[in-house]
Amino acid sequence: MNDFRPGLEGVVAFQTEIAEPDEEGGALRYRGVDIEELVGHYPYEAIWGLLVDESFDPGMPHPDEYAPKHLTGNAPSDLQAETARLSSEWGLKKLVDTDLDETRDDLARLSAQMMSIVAKSAAIHDGREPAPDDVVSQGETAAEAFLLRWRGEANPDHVKAIDTYWICTAEHGLNASTFTARIAASTGADAGAAMSAAVGALSGPLHGGAPARVLPMLDEVAAKGDPEGYVKDLLDRRGRIMGFGHRIYRAEDPRSRILKRTVQEIGSHRLEVAEALEEAALAELHRRKPDYVIATNVEFYSAVLLDVAEVPPDLTPAMFACARVAGWSAHILEEKRTGRLIRPSAQYVGPSSRPASAVGRAPVRT
Catalytic residues: 246, 299
Say if residues 182 and 331 touch (Cβ distance below 8 Å): yes
φ, ψ (nearest 5 deg) of residue 309:
-85, 10
CB of 214 to ligand ACO, least distance (A): 8
Residue nearest to ligand ACO (CB): 245
Segment lying near ligand ACO (by CB under 6 A), choices 42-50, 133-141, 239-247, 339-347? 239-247
Of residues 304, 322, 328, 326, the one with CA closest to residue 120: 322
Residue 19 or 189: the one with the smaller Cβ distance to ligand ACO is: 19
Cα-based angle 121, 127, 131 (whole degrees, multiple of 5) = 60
Instruction: Report how many residues bind ligand ACO under the rule CB under 6 A.
Output: 15
List C-alpha distances in Å: 294 to 10, 216, 287, 289, 297. 19, 21, 11, 8, 9
Say if residues 251 and 24 touch (Cβ distance below 8 Å): yes
**Exactly one of 240, 269, 287, 337 binds ligand ACO (CB under 6 A); which one?**
240
Residue 5 or 361: the one with the smaller Cβ distance to ligand ACO is: 5
| 245 lies in the binding site for ligand ACO (CB under 6 A) | yes
246-265 residues near ligand ACO, rule: CB under 6 A: 246-247
Binding mask 285-314 for ligand ACO (x = CB under 6 A): ----x--x-x--xxx---------------
**Exactly one of 241, 308, 322, 330 binds ligand ACO (CB under 6 A); which one?**
241
Residue 95 or 306: the one with the smaller Cβ distance to ligand ACO is: 306
Q: Which residues contact 170 (CB under 8 A, 6 or more apart)?
A: 30, 44, 47, 48, 51, 323, 324, 326, 327
**Exactly one of 47, 242, 318, 322 binds ligand ACO (CB under 6 A); which one?**
242
CB of 52 to ligand ACO, least distance (A): 21
Residue 135 or 235: the one with the smaller Cβ distance to ligand ACO is: 235
**Exactly one of 48, 165, 179, 244 binds ligand ACO (CB under 6 A); which one?**
244
Residue 97 or 219: the one with the smaller Cβ distance to ligand ACO is: 219
Segment lying near ligand ACO (by CB under 6 A), choices 22-30, 46-54, 179-187, 234-242? 234-242
H/E stretch holding 182: helix 176-186
Of residues 160, 199, 111, the one with CA closest to residue 308: 160
207-226 residues near ligand ACO, rule: CB under 6 A: 210
Of residues 141, 139, 126, 136, the one with CA closest to residue 71: 126
Segment lying near ligand ACO (by CB under 6 A), choices 34-42, 60-68, 99-107, 237-245? 237-245
Say if residues 186 and 178 touch (Cβ distance below 8 Å): no
Of residues 44, 78, 75, the one with CA closest to residue 61: 44
Distance CA 125, CA 22 (A): 39
Q: Rule CB under 6 A: which residues touch ligand ACO?
A: 210, 240-247, 289, 292, 294, 297-299
